[in-house]
Structure 1
Amino acid sequence: MKQLTLPRVILLLLALATLCFIFARSTKAPADSAAESDKVRDFLEDVLPPDSETTDFVLTNVRKIAHFSEFGLLGILTVLFAATYRLRAVFLGRWFVFGFFAAFFDETIQMFTSRGPAIADVWIDVGGYIFYSLLTLLILTPVLAVRRRPLFTNRYAL
């Protein structure tokens, strides 16, 4: 088994905290969730330029953008965690499956709070996870190629 390093522990805890945050949002009652979204929408109305197509899009899709971003953060953290090991296609494939099941479970939680889960929301979540995962890989690939070893070697061993 690979040695447990401080960066691995930190990345794992951050990923788990992000997952808990996502799931906690899904346990909210419909009225509470809508009120929270309305607060964000009100803030964005004050910040974004009025009467623009971009503003209209953002205000209409606040919840979708939030889910895309939350799962994007989860994707970034899981790729960074995976990068502390040697990256292999099979290994990364498992992380993408993890992202799908996390999104599926997130929507399943909403069935118990009467919030009406939707398969389209699963794909939005998975899309955020995969988009940000691939973006992180694109940025990390040159770094890993130069280093020829995983990020955060065992000098931080616990």
Structure 2
Amino acid sequence: MADKQHQYQVKVTWTGNQGTGTSAHRSYSRDHRIEAAGKLSGIDGSSDPAFRGDPARWNPEDLLVASLSACHKLWYLGLCASAGIVVQAYEDNAEGVMLEQADGAGQFTSVVLRPTVTLAPGSDLDKALELHHAAHETCFIARSVNFPVTCEPQLVIG
């Protein structure tokens, strides 16, 4: 099968002009709106509160961790369906670590996915655990980042 290229387009609109634009570092809000054609609603974003952002809004760091978690989940559910393993519930408490340098630059150093997966009675626990590794190996987002992403799954029989 030949490689396929996919494109993703989003619109990010800064909504934080408080009347004087970026006339000073503290004169504007970091708020923005993330939208994409055909999506039901947008996402209200800002920067992390450590960088003068609104703590009630999503920040890019939150969204990166959420993207890694959601991608893993989607692959895992699909692999389970193909393997005849019935997942009844899936909840991930993922955590990312970002290192900020003295000059203000920074990067993520790790993300840990901690999914709790409820499986139907009679499920093959070894296979269900193995599929987490397979999901990680195929997750588009995990394959695209330059820091370690690990998975610490907990399996529960429903």
Which TM-score bucket, shorter chain as reference? under 0.3
Point out the structure with the larger strand share. 2
Point out the structure with the larger helix share. 1
TM-score, structure 2 normalization = 0.27
TM-score, structure 1 normalization = 0.27
